[in-house]
Amino acid sequence: MIVEPAPAKLNLALHVRRRRPDGYHDLETLFAFCRDGDVISLAPAPADSLAITGPFGAALASEGDNLVTRARDAFRATFGVSDPCAIVLEKNLPVASGIGGGSADAAATLRALARLHGVAPDDRRLFDIAAGLGADVPACLLGRSAIGYGKGDDLRPVEGHAGSPVLLVNPGVAVSTARVFAGWDGADRGPIGDEPAAGRNDLTAAAVAAAPVIAEVLAALEALPGARLVRMSGSGATCFALCDDARAAAATIAAHHPGWWVLATELR
């Protein structure tokens, strides 16, 4: 049995520069990763199978095809292997929440298959597969702090903020990435830097228009004692706060908003 973590992805900053002719947007984004997230377990088996467990597993149970199986099939096609395997996805992160759950799961599947078949984790072909699966998958495959350019898959590793406590909060709404990008106002507000405090998330206004409760989450996080950086991740609806004591902050949010999902963790 091979076990690979699929850590939650955060966009500490997300600058949208322009719409591209191919329908994507040119981005500059500062990726960071948490110590907690989903988990992929994989083992050789007589036949292929995918089981989905965890608190958010039911949201994916009806899918016949998802990023995990697509990653498995693309790996096989690229590396010429066909051995069946049993995969278990422990789904601990909310679905469609801006923290890279599906992308992280696909990346963890690629890492697990690479371990199973003796492929080096930095093999360029793995990143080519990842780029074909989704814009965030290469960053999740790299799994360390980096600035992403282009669609977000042109990566430049940077020094991160490992060990920094962080609180993630999701109000329990799924936000359409396509809808949020379509709602971007088209204004280029300038390039990104290495420090998240100097950045922003250019999709916040569009996400709040799609799901006004996001503004409530941001306000609740900004009111926390010791919150140093509060922002929405990706296209929402999950927001985060870098703070002095993530566990105490989680308890405060949970007491006032018992229906919201909270995760106290730290950056890796």
Q: How far apart are the first and last CA of the chain?
A: 24
If pLDDT is split at 50, 70 and 90, which confidence band does 22 have? confident
| Percent of the chain residues topping a pLDDT of 90 | 90
If pLDDT is split at 50, 70 and 90, which confidence band does 80 have? very high
Query: Among 157, 192, 211, which residue terminates a domain?
Result: 157
* C-alpha–C-alpha distance, residues 54 and 173, integer Å: 18
pLDDT surpassing 80 at residue 65: no
Query: Among 122, 157, 192, which residue terminates a domain?
Result: 157
Give yes or no: 123 in active site: no
Indicate the average pLDDT of the chain: 95
Q: 19, exposed or middle or buried, with CB in 10 Å at 0-12, 13-18, 19+?
A: middle
Domain check: are 99 and 30 in the same one?
yes
Q: Tell me phi and psi for residue 203, to 5 degrees.
A: -95, 0
Domain check: are 135 and 200 in the same one?
no
The H or E element spanning position 214 is helix 213-222
Domain check: are 126 and 218 in the same one?
no
Point out the catalytic residue in the list 9, 36, 153, 202. 9
**How far out from the chain centre does Cα 216 lie?**
22
pLDDT surpassing 70 at residue 63: no
Domain check: are 41 and 95 in the same one?
yes
If pLDDT is split at 50, 70 and 90, which confidence band does 64 have? low
Residue 27: both structure tokens together: 């981005």
Out of 51-65, 170-184, 201-215, least confident range: 51-65
Q: Which domain holds residue 58?
A: 2-157
Point out the catalytic residue in the list 36, 38, 105, 136. 136
If pLDDT is split at 50, 70 and 90, which confidence band does 11 have? very high
pLDDT in tens, 141-189: 999 999 999 999 999 999 888 999 999 999 999 899 999 999 999 999 9
* C-alpha–C-alpha distance, residues 39 and 204, integer Å: 29
Domain check: are 69 and 48 in the same one?
yes
Q: Give residue 268's pLDDT.
A: 94
What is the total residue count of the chain? 268
Which pTM was predicted?
Answer: 0.95
Query: Among 123, 157, 191, which residue terminates a domain?
Result: 157
If pLDDT is split at 50, 70 and 90, which confidence band does 61 have? confident
If pLDDT is split at 50, 70 and 90, which confidence band does 224 have? very high
Looking at the 3D structure of the chain, how many domains does it have? 2
Domain check: are 175 and 143 in the same one?
no
Q: Give residue 198's pLDDT.
A: 87
Q: Cis peptide leading into 237, omega within 30 of 0?
A: yes
Give yes or no: 136 in active site: yes
Given a contact cutoff of 8 angstroms between Cβ atoms, the answer to whether 204 and 184 are in contact is no
Domain check: are 127 and 107 in the same one?
yes
> Quick one: average pLDDT of 39-63?
92
